[in-house]
């Protein structure tokens, strides 16, 4: 069963930002889909199982952006 989680990423301003975040999050184990809403900063990740928050944060950091605290 797929799990969908939504995060807020700050600092994204363009299509390149979206691509960088999408690429890093797509590389996490079990991730099936990543959708980014540039306007709101919302990033929706669909995965096979819940993703550890520290892995999501590390992937967003690697892309050069920041995961907003929930």
Model pTM above 0.85: yes
- HSE at residue 45, side-chain half, CA atoms within 13 A, is 28
- 69 falls in which pLDDT band (50, 70, 90)? confident
CATH 3.30.70.100 fits 3-67, yes or no: yes
Q: How many CB atoms lie within 10 A of CB 26?
A: 13
Structure tokens at 65: 């952006």
* pLDDT score for 1: 80
For residues 36-43, average pLDDT:
96
The per-residue pLDDT of the chain, averaged, comes to 95
């Amino acid at each position: 069963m797929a799990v969908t989680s939504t995060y807020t990423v700050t600092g994204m301003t363009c299509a390149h930002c979206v691509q960088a975040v999408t690429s890093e999050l797509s590389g996490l184990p079990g991730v099936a889909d990543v959708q980014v809403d540039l306007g709101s900063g919302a990033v929706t990740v669909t995965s096979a199982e819940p993703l550890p928050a520290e892995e999501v944060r590390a992937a967003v950091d690697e892309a050069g952006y920041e995961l907003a605290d929930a």
